[in-house]
Structure 1
Amino acid sequence: MNALEFVEFNGEEEERRSVPRVFRDRTRPYETLTDAEFRKDYRFSRPVFFRICEMLYEDLLHPSGRASDLPVADQVALAIHLLGRNVMQADCARIARKLKGDFFRKYGIPGIVGIIDCTHIPIIGPSENEEDYVNRKNYHSLNVGVIVDFDGKIRWVSTNWPGSAHDSRVFKSSLLYAQLKRGAVKGCLLGDSAYALESFLLKPLNGPRTPKEEKYNKAVCKARSIIERNFGIIKRRFHILHGQCRYKPVKAGNITVACCVLRNIAIDAKETNNYGRPPPPSKFPL
């Protein structure tokens, strides 16, 4: 996934004129394929493909009508091509092995693939079920579940729950929890005391009694600082998550997911933590 580049002009007209226009190739791959190639890449014959386009036309048509908008057939082609491809199990296993190795080398805890926690995104209380969105600190929010990896990349996010929901409920109600429970997804997560101990979720020990137990607890706390630091970074970079997100819960959740995607893009691009101006004062904690 490529980030859009932000280009800042310096105001000199002459310099602007010297930048050549770039014309993109408008050829659509699905228009040049043979029937056999088309079926292989897009999983349907041409007539059925275009019937699907007709069924989705009104939902996918851009209201702006700009030439730069992606045509409906292109959107359908991209979606089917993506769905037709599958991430190879070997690739997933390789990524999991790398994550386990990274966590073990740094913190000495085997089998860890990610760190789980929740953070509250302040919102305006909705008209329906308003009381469900009041969290324990007495403001309206979404309780957003997040899993990050060793590098701080967000690997899972859930924005489905109101502020009154407990962290463990956010996780236990998820598809990911069910997959981990039945062994469909391999690996172990690190959580805090809010989560129940599971074969696939480790947490700090209550009242460590031996030097080994104390060492383990220190390692868990140190590793968990990755996700705590991540929450601070993403809220400082995207002020809409730091103050009050003035949208309904579903849209606020979508905005949160978009910010998480942008955070991952920044990590991939090795962006420095330069957020411009600091966030405005907020009555809501980071």
Structure 2
Amino acid sequence: MTPEEEVVLQVSLMLLTLLLRKKLVRDKIVHPQKSAVRPNKNVIRPQKSIVHPHRSIAHPYKNAGEKFVYNVIHGPPKNCLNLLRMDKDIYVALCNALKNRNLLHDARDISVEEQVAIFLYSVGHNKRNRASQDTFQHSGQTISKYFNVVLRTICHLGKDYICRLNNDTPAKIQNDPRFYPYFKDCLGVIDSTHVPVWVPTSTHGRFRNRKGVLSQNVMAVVGFDMRFHYVMAGWEGSAEDSRVLYSALDDNVDPLQIPEGKYYLADGDYPSIVGLITPYCGHQYHMSELNASGSQPITTAEELFNNRHFSLRATVERVFGLLRSRFPILKSQVEYPFSTQVQIVLATCVLHNFILDHNPNATQFDVEDGASYDVDTSSEIDNEHEFKVQVVKRGSNDSLRATIAAQMFEDFNNRCRR
């Protein structure tokens, strides 16, 4: 090898050595006596799982809602009545009706039966979302979702289950000589009830009724078959009953229609217009026709008319009491949007009719549990001027009332002389 070739070889070896050293430095590989692997801060390493003994899974019991429904359907008959406020057969019929109308469908993790159970459990026991979460082991979002879904679907059933009576004389009147033939053209009773509401502070003035309670004024037409035949909910508690009536009569979407020649009974808070018959003001109303101990005998046609008018009109008070006792959610304020509170009233009325349609002898709850929240009404006319205006506009039923009272009193006196 020539001297020139040796020089070239040495230079090549030196360059190769330098290149290898640079590569080793770049890869952070050093001599053994100086090796120390430093952790890369940019690398994400898995953390060790930390067990918190005080924490638990939010809903640890799977299929709790499914087991709840199974217990309701296959358990003792009183299970369904106590938990869902209706008999087992009626609950199954309700679920089937909603499915057959394609209003409800089974979801991935929750059946139609469980969806309906969530709603009935809430309105039947006035349970809040958090309590239903614990019972059915679902998230609050799921409970709220299906509560509102079922609420809307039941309101949708209203057009089939809340409808006007036919024009036939009710059996309650036709089969009782105290009422027939005097009230043969009477179809039912119109009255209002007050349901507590939760509303923003800025609207308290409009919703505070004469008893100082925040409420919505709900007007209903009730037949002597104990069913609702028209319901208007959502009026402020401060609204007069007569004002709600005018709104129903003049409503453009779903007006209250009274057939010609027919009428409803109403109390002294309503005007004596065509289609309504109210009691005589200034005469006793709650009195015994048979002159029980401590009561005064009936001496005038007006008193006799008022007595029998009250006996028939008591039907609506009983229906309101039954509705509240079956669905306690109507007895207290609930923190839902006001539109939802209105829908709850309508839905419970639909359920009331649905139950009676499927079983007129269905188990009822103690009416004493449904204490009245109504505003105390009296025969004193506070808005006499407005009543006169409406009588001029819609006509008066005073002459018909006088005719009925006179005939009724004459027959009463003839029977007493026998």
- TM-score bucket (shorter structure): 0.5 to 0.7
Query: Offset of 1:127 from its aligned partner?
Result: 4.7
- Give the structure 2 partner of residue 97 of structure 1: 168
Aligned counterpart in structure 2 of residue 230 of structure 1, from 302, 306, 319: 319
Deviation sequence 1:183-209 (CA, Å, 0-9, x none)? 766620100000000121001012359
Q: TM-score scaled by structure 1? A: 0.62
- Give the structure 2 partner of residue 145 of structure 1: 219
- Give the structure 1 partner of residue 363 of structure 2: 272
- Give the structure 1 partner of residue 242 of structure 2: 168
Conserved? CA contact 1:104–1:112, under 8 Å: no
Deviation sequence 1:145-178 (CA, Å, 0-9, x none)? 0110011100011113010001111111114789
Conserved? CA contact 1:119–1:143, under 8 Å: yes
Conserved? CA contact 1:116–1:146, under 8 Å: yes
Instruction: State the alpha-carbon separation in 2 of the partners of residues 279 and 102 from structure 1.
Output: 26
- Give the structure 1 partner of residue 187 of structure 2: 113
C-alpha distance 153-194 of structure 1, shift in aligned 2 (>3 A): same
Query: Offset of 1:130 from its aligned partner?
Result: 2.8
Conserved? CA contact 2:194–2:373, under 8 Å: no
Query: Offset of 1:67 from its aligned partner?
Result: 9.5
| 2:266 is the alignment partner of 1:196 | no
Larger radius of gyration: 2
C-alpha distance 155-285 of structure 1, shift in aligned 2 (>3 A): closer
C-alpha distance 198-175 of structure 1, shift in aligned 2 (>3 A): closer
C-alpha distance 283-110 of structure 1, shift in aligned 2 (>3 A): closer
Query: Offset of 1:65 from its aligned partner?
Result: 6.9
Instruction: State the alpha-carbon separation in 2 of the partners of residues 233 and 104 from structure 1.
Output: 24
Instruction: State the alpha-carbon separation in 2 of the partners of residues 246 and 230 from structure 1.
Output: 25
SS of corresponding position for 1:115: strand
| 2:84 is the alignment partner of 1:9 | no
| 2:261 is the alignment partner of 1:261 | no
Please, what is the CA RMSD of the aligned residues? 4.3
- Give the structure 2 partner of residue 250 of structure 1: 339
SS of corresponding position for 1:97: coil
- Give the structure 2 partner of residue 51 of structure 1: none
- Identity value in percent: 29
Instruction: State the alpha-carbon separation in 2 of the partners of residues 206 and 131 from structure 1.
Output: 30
Amino acid at match of 1:243: S
Deviation sequence 1:216-235 (CA, Å, 0-9, x none)? 11111000110011111111
Give ranges in structure 1 of 5+ residues lacking alignment: 11-23, 29-59, 70-81
C-alpha distance 68-232 of structure 1, shift in aligned 2 (>3 A): closer
SS of corresponding position for 2:210: coil
Deviation sequence 1:72-107 (CA, Å, 0-9, x none)? xxxxxxxxxx9xxx9xxxx978x22143x6435432
Conserved? CA contact 2:193–2:374, under 8 Å: no
C-alpha distance 180-231 of structure 1, shift in aligned 2 (>3 A): closer
SS of corresponding position for 1:174: helix
Q: TM-score scaled by structure 2? A: 0.44
C-alpha distance 285-149 of structure 1, shift in aligned 2 (>3 A): closer
| 2:330 is the alignment partner of 1:241 | yes
Instruction: State the alpha-carbon separation in 1 of the partners of residues 184 and 104 from structure 2.
Output: 49
Query: Offset of 1:252 from its aligned partner?
Result: 0.8
Conserved? CA contact 1:113–1:189, under 8 Å: yes
Amino acid at match of 1:207: G
